[in-house]
Amino acid sequence: MANNLRFTHIYQKATLGQFGCRVLETGDSTPVGEFYHTIRPLKNSSFTADNNTTGGDSSITITNVEAACDIVGHFDNVSCSHGKVICYLI
């Protein structure tokens, strides 16, 4: 279960990466039931993720995004099809 980011101290811990992270390389996927607030490519990468928001797209596919270009949201089911990404846990 994801932490409630409405509380300032929880939000601050999440943005500083204090809930941990997962590093995914080509062919890797995140475990079921984990949620992430930021996906950061560590090198040019392509990946897919489910977007758990009330509006907008329910899933995203990002192709050939450059390293250090943060994708921010409320994600789960992240799969890296090319490259290497780091996913910060909520």
Provide the domain limits for residue 45: 8-89
Instruction: Please indicate, yes or no, if residue 27 is contained in any of the structural domains.
Output: yes
Nearest to 85 by CA among 34, 39, 48, 49: 39
Helix H or strand E segment including 70: none
Question: Tell me, what CATH number does 51's domain have?
Answer: 2.60.120
Instruction: Please indicate, yes or no, if residue 67 is contained in any of the structural domains.
Output: yes
Q: What is the pLDDT of residue 19?
A: 83
pTM comes to 0.86
Instruction: Please indicate, yes or no, if residue 60 is contained in any of the structural domains.
Output: yes
Q: What is the pLDDT of residue 12?
A: 74
Instruction: Please indicate, yes or no, if residue 1 is contained in any of the structural domains.
Output: no
Instruction: Please indicate, yes or no, if residue 47 is contained in any of the structural domains.
Output: yes
Structural domain total, the chain: 1
Instruction: Please indicate, yes or no, if residue 52 is contained in any of the structural domains.
Output: yes
Please write the tens of the pLDDT for every residue from 4-53. Answer: 767 777 777 767 677 889 999 999 999 999 999 999 999 999 999 999 88
